[in-house]
């Protein structure tokens, strides 16, 4: 394994959002210096496994990594640079919330080495921010975007649509406003109700009101793609849109089945070693993960060698999400597999996919039914 991406998971938030199913936790006190040492120990353990790995991208996710002090981020990056080779033009991303306290750290994060910021705006509508359990308001969100644009080479922000009681016209206006801010990148996710979240529990009791019907969900998705495309934001992945050459390199590496190491509680990793591909998941509990790291333990909960079928399915599932699609010749060369010709022709006839120059791409009409298409192709 030569080129890798590094994902660093900061598991703490000030509060738990009702829709969030990420591995995030609320703690009254976090000793950040202890966490720095735990991360560094874990980083050194991984280095001992691989020969001179070169880092392509680094991503600080969470949780809320903008709760980390800039000096902790700086020391972590210094540790990575000490033990790993670094690619030229490395992309280093950090997720941030748009609160006034965290905005004040932006310039220090840039000085530490962060060159891409991803801001969790989620909405520019105050009442919807309250419904989503967010602690910031629309004014802070706008301020974070404007300040971040002046500091970072690449700025992205997230919005959630398909929110409670949101009309198609409401979303069109909000998205047009978001695009007018001209960030380099937008992540636009339709609200999904996940099990074991506060929203999930309300939904199970029939108390989560105002969610869109299937037809409105479809229209919201199609409109999102149309508006973004018309303003120069390429939908390079099903929920991610970027101006020319401003795609998130870190996430593209995931979707192209590259090598990545996840460091931190609950973080996942995939890597190639001695012609075999492995997947793993770290222990989720923050304190357990930290204690094991201090004891020179990788703190992995689940690790397995991926079968050829696992790897093939990952290649298909991820490739179908990308606008460039997946290479049928590469699929045959690497896995010795071809899709059923009758299924391909039927999906083409329905206008769900196209095949050109041996690339299979899911068309916009098909993206709404991506799970169905994936299931058909993997049958």
- From first to last of the 379 residues of the chain, give the pLDDT tens digit: 578 999 999 999 999 999 999 999 999 999 999 999 999 999 999 987 777 789 999 999 999 999 999 999 999 999 999 989 999 899 999 999 998 778 899 999 999 999 999 999 999 999 999 999 999 999 999 999 999 999 998 999 999 999 999 999 999 999 999 999 999 999 999 999 999 999 999 999 999 999 999 999 999 999 999 999 999 999 999 999 999 999 999 999 999 999 999 999 999 999 988 889 999 999 999 999 999 999 999 999 999 999 999 999 999 999 999 999 999 999 999 999 999 999 999 999 999 999 999 999 999 999 999 999 999 999 8
Q: Which two tokens mark 33?
A: 């210096």
Q: With CA atoms as reference, report the closest residue to 267 among 5, 2, 1, 81.
A: 5
pTM over 0.85: yes
> Would you state the pLDDT for residue 1?
53
Among residues 337, 291, 338, 280, which one has the least CA distance to residue 46? 280
Question: What residues are paired with 289 via a beta bridge?
Answer: none
Nearest Cα neighbor of 93 from 23, 8, 12, 182 is 8
Number of Cβ within a 10 Å radius of residue 240:
25
* Residue ranges with strand state E in the chain: 3-10, 54-62, 85-96, 116-122, 154-161, 185-190, 234-237, 240-242, 260-263, 268-273, 276-282, 300-305, 326-327, 353-356, 359-362
Report how far residue 304's alpha carbon sits from residue 277's, in angstroms, rounded to the nearest whole number. 9
- Of the candidates 136, 219, 217, 150, the one whose C-alpha atom is nearest the C-alpha of residue 183 is 150
CA 58 to CA 235: how far, in whole Å? Answer: 23
Pair 12, 23: CB distance under 8 Å: no
Q: Measuring CA to CA, which residue among 109, 128, 108 is closest to residue 117?
A: 109
> Residue 91's beta-bridge partner residues?
57
Indicate the CATH number for domain 309-378: 1.10.10.920
- The CATH code that applies to domain 3-254 is 3.20.20.70
**pLDDT recorded at residue 358:** 95
Provide the residue ranges of all domains of the chain, joining segments of one domain with +.
3-254, 309-378
Helix (H, G, I), strand (E, B) or coil at 148: helix
84 and 78 Cβ atoms separated by less than 8 Å? no
Are 182 and 202 spatial neighbours (Cβ–Cβ below 8 Å)? no
């Amino acid at each position: 394994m030569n080129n890798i991406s590094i994902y660093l998971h900061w598991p703490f938030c000030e509060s738990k959002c009702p829709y969030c199913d990420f591995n995030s936790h609320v703690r009254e006190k976090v000793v950040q210096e202890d966490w720095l040492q735990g991360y560094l120990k874990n980083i050194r353990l991984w280095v001992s496994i691989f020969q001179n790995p070169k880092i392509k991208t680094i991503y600080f996710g969470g949780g809320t990594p903008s709760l980390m002090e800039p000096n902790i981020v700086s020391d972590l990056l210094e540790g990575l640079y000490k033990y790993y080779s670094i690619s030229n033009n490395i992309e280093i991303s950090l997720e941030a919330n748009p609160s006034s306290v965290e905005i004040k750290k932006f310039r220090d994060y840039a000085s530490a080495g962060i060159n891409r910021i991803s801001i969790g705006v989620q909405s520019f509508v105050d009442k919807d921010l309250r419904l989503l359990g967010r602690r910031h308001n629309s004014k802070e969100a706008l301020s974070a975007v404007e300040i971040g644009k002046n500091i970072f080479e690449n700025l992205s922000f997230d919005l959630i649509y398909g929110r409670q009681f949101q009309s198609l016209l409401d979303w069109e206006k909000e998205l047009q406003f978001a695009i007018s801010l001209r960030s380099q990148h937008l992540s636009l996710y339709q609200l999904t109700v996940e099990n074991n979240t506060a929203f999930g529990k309300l939904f199970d009791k029939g108390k989560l009101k105002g969610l869109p019907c299937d037809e409105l969900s479809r229209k919201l998705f199609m409109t999102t793609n149309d508006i973004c495309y018309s303003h120069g934001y390429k939908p390079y992945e099903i929920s991610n849109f970027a101006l020319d050459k401003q795609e998130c390199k870190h996430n593209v590496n995931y979707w192209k089945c590259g090598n990545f190491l996840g460091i931190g509680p609950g973080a996942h990793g995939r890597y190639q070693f001695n012609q075999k591909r492995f997947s793993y998941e770290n222990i989720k509990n923050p304190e357990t993960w930290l204690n094991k790291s201090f004891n020179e333990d990788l703190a992995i909960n689940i690790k397995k060698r991926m079968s050829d079928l696992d790897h093939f399915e990952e290649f298909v599932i991820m490739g179908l999400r990308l606008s460039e699609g997946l290479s049928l010749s590469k699929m045959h060369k690497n896995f010795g597999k071809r899709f059923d010709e009758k299924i391909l022709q039927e999906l083409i006839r329905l206008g769900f996919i196209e095949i050109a120059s041996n690339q299979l791409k899911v068309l916009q009409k098909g993206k709404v039914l991506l799970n169905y298409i994936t299931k058909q192709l993997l049958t």
